[in-house]
Chains A and B, each alone.
Chain A
Amino acid sequence: MRRSLALSVALITGTAMITLAACTDVPSTAGDDGPVEAADLGDGEPGAAEDTEITVAIPFPDITMYSQYVVGTELGFYEDEGLSVEVITADNVNAAVSSGSADIGVESAGAVIEAVRAGVGVMPLAGHFCRQNFDFAVQPGVTSVDQLAGTDVVLAGTTGDPAEFQRQRVLKEEGWDLDGVDVDIVYPGPDSATWREFFVTDRVSLIPFYGDDRPALDEYGANIVIEALRPWANDLHVVGKGWLEDNPNSAVRFLRATMKSLEHIVAPGVGEVPENKDEILDIYAANDFEVDELRAQDHPWILDGHLACPNLYFDEEAWDTTIETQELDPLPFDEHVDLSYLHKAQELLDLDAAMPSEELVYP
């Protein structure tokens, strides 16, 4: 009896080991199949949308950054294209898109490139915000980088966030090179409100911040040492390759409606006080966003229009710049990206495909 059991075990073990040995052909994840073939989208108006109910995944709700979908829905831009848009939040947007939980996602450019490299099954569809602001605050009384020695500083919410390299680069370019200073880089979590709280309780000496952090930092007496803008891709629109093949018209129509929505938000143009501010803020308020502070402000960047490119600009240069500034490993653009859908939508709206050339300065 024992012999037969031992034999069974030996057989099972042997089979398992043989199967393991036979399965050594782990498929390659990074694509190396040559350039992506451009989709043939024909001339003139796109056909009817295939998928009419589009789910858009965003990393977190933000009053301005991800609100063009709300605005586009309220103003009927998506309806005009035969689409309805539902916005959901996802911890990992690339995974949500790849798994089909969302049709289209919005994710930071570096994270998208890393997902493409890893073979997650997603592809950049278009740009989202085409510029980034780099604003940094240091503790009151700190006037030079040397004074940060021996303190904790925040450059990103979580370890491994490629944005850390961009921030370090901008700091260096603006005269706050951390390389030669003995600082501890710490990671308080993804939400900038947490960074701000650690800052105003004097736990950290330097933080990056965003517009909504500014009032609290001013009240605390923070020394705002850098306010800089870079023409570096911020977020990208990303899609699953399978969904894009099955729904080319939906993709083009979605992009066209989103561009119209962005144009309406930044009108009369990027860098100017938005003429539709009150209407847009009413839409935000109707969608449960707090707008009181924004209503009180009156400057060109109030709706984050300075970060937006209404043509959803994205190209190989933006891809390469992201790789360079985030210190990522090189990845060939043409093997992973097909911009036909973006170019088609731009063409339909008579928009240029290039990066808008406005010189923007801090108001």
Chain B
Amino acid sequence: MTTVTTASSRAAGPSLAARLAALDPWQKALIVLGEVLVVLALWQLLVGSWRVINPIFLPPPLSILEGFDELLASGQLGEHVLTSIRSWLTGFGLATLIGVPLGLLMGSSLAVDRVVGPMAWTIYATPMLAYQPLALAWFGFGTGPVVFLVVMGALFPILLNVSAGMRTTSPSLVNAARVYGGRRLQLYRKVFLPSTVAFLIAGMRQGAVMATIALMVAELAGTSTGMGALIVRTANSYQTDQSFAAIAMVVLWSVGMTQLIGGVGRWVAPWTKGAR
């Protein structure tokens, strides 16, 4: 029985997986696009036309598009988008500024790793929601608690990945650099940093996603502007097409940022291609 099946599949040519693997990037992109369109079409059909689910609770794609139009027409979208982007960039920038040097230190010094590591993992493991009311209590209202939570979201993936990257640096490379008289700063710049770039980029990509999640958690309460506040406001008045449009924009931002960071990584450190 097994022999027959194998023989017949051989006769039919290479497997689907092999055929898919052999496709060029454009063909792969076309397939993904086709999948997305099929899902959207099914969604539209099931909810928009057949109303299998009340569209108020899960608006169909065309309603979400209309919701996006309404948000644009309201003239308030720009303020919400700008507020969120400003908080995200500030928080993510701060997280990178803190996370990279601290991660390098943790990776190169066992003592620092022993002190900072457990604390970093503990904070990283705490659900972001738990910090939300505390952030309001510590920083009051406005952008302060939002930026704080974005920093908390992005910092630890960056820090811990950089630290792990440092520890995987080849000892032969370090020894060779030392033999040739490399000083501590040169070691960091010419050996540790290049070999850590793949980890840094991976950490920053994770950090970008976590920063977006933290941004939403922070903006769901305490503030009246920002994409999180917009989602709450529209959901409270059952304008869920607008809520989903806002959610889609946040998802696009998050995915866009991870792709951008990946692209920058490939550009500044082409040798890391395939490591991410």
Interfacial residues, chain A to chain B (CB-CB below 8 A): 1-2, 5-6, 9-10, 12-13, 15-17, 19-20, 23-27, 29, 94-95, 98-99, 111, 114-115, 117-121, 152, 158-162, 184-189, 194, 198, 201, 203-204
Among candidates B41, B141, B237, residue contacting A160 with C-beta atoms closer than 8 Å = B237
Contact A189 B44 (CB under 8 A): no
Contact A17 B37 (CB under 8 A): yes
Contact B224 A185 (CB under 8 A): yes
Q: Cβ of B223: which chain A residues have Cβ within 8 Å of it?
A: 159, 186-187
Interfacial residues, chain B to chain A (CB-CB below 8 A): 13, 19, 22-23, 27, 30-31, 33-35, 37-38, 40-42, 44-45, 48-49, 51, 54-57, 60-63, 66, 133, 136-137, 140-142, 221-224, 229, 232-240
What's the nearest-Cβ distance from chain B to residue A260, in Å?
A: 34
Contact A23 B44 (CB under 8 A): yes
CB contact under 8 A between A20 and B54, given known A120-B238, A158-B221, A160-B233 = no
CB contact under 8 A between A187 and B221, given known A6-B27, A159-B229 = yes
Q: List 11 A-B contacts (CB under 8 A).
A: A1-B19, A2-B27, A20-B62, A23-B49, A26-B55, A26-B62, A114-B236, A186-B223, A187-B222, A187-B229, A188-B221
Contact B45 A23 (CB under 8 A): yes
State the majority secondary structure of interface residues on B: helix
CB contact under 8 A between A160 and B232, given known A5-B19, A19-B45, A186-B141 = yes
What's the nearest-Cβ distance from chain B to residue A65, in Å?
A: 20
What's the nearest-Cβ distance from chain B to residue A113, in Å?
A: 10
Complex: how many Å from CA A12 to CA B235? 34
Contact B49 A25 (CB under 8 A): yes
Q: Cβ of A24: which chain B residues have Cβ within 8 Å of it?
A: 62
What's the nearest-Cβ distance from chain B to residue A194, in Å?
A: 8
CB contact under 8 A between A114 and B238, given known A20-B44, A26-B55 = yes
What's the nearest-Cβ distance from chain B to residue A219, in Å?
A: 20
What's the nearest-Cβ distance from chain B to residue A163, in Å?
A: 11
Among candidates B41, B60, B142, B224, residue contacting A159 with C-beta atoms closer than 8 Å = B224
Interface contacts beyond A27-B48, A118-B240: sample of 17 additional A-B pairs, CB < 8 Å, sorted by A: A1-B19, A2-B27, A5-B19, A5-B23, A5-B31, A13-B33, A13-B37, A16-B40, A23-B41, A29-B56, A118-B237, A152-B140, A159-B223, A160-B233, A162-B237, A185-B224, A189-B133
Contact A161 B236 (CB under 8 A): yes
Q: Cβ of B55: which chain A residues have Cβ within 8 Å of it?
A: 26-27, 29, 119
CB contact under 8 A between A23 and B37, given known A5-B19, A186-B222, A186-B223 = no
CB contact under 8 A between A2 and B23, given known A158-B236, A186-B223, A189-B221 = yes
Q: Cβ of A118: which chain B residues have Cβ within 8 Å of it?
A: 56, 237-240
Complex: how many Å from CA A186 to CA B55? 31
Nearest neighbor of B39 in chain A, beta-carbon distance: A16
What's the nearest-Cβ distance from chain B to residue A167, in Å?
A: 15
Among candidates B57, B142, B238, residue contacting A117 with C-beta atoms closer than 8 Å = B238
Complex: how many Å from CA A181 to CA B40? 48
Q: Cβ of B60: which chain A residues have Cβ within 8 Å of it?
A: 23, 26
Complex: how many Å from CA A120 to CA B238? 8
Nearest neighbor of B26 in chain A, beta-carbon distance: A6
Contact A26 B48 (CB under 8 A): yes
Among candidates B23, B30, B44, B56, residue contacting A119 with C-beta atoms closer than 8 Å = B56
Contact A16 B62 (CB under 8 A): no
What's the nearest-Cβ distance from chain A to residue B240, in Å?
A: 8
Q: Cβ of B38: which chain A residues have Cβ within 8 Å of it?
A: 12, 15-16
Contact B142 A19 (CB under 8 A): no
Complex: how many Å from CA A360 to CA B252? 54
Among candidates B23, B56, B62, residue contacting A120 with C-beta atoms closer than 8 Å = B56
CB contact under 8 A between A5 and B27, given known A95-B57, A114-B238 = yes
Q: Cβ of A99: which chain B residues have Cβ within 8 Å of it?
A: 57
Contact B133 A20 (CB under 8 A): no
Q: Cβ of B40: which chain A residues have Cβ within 8 Å of it?
A: 16, 20
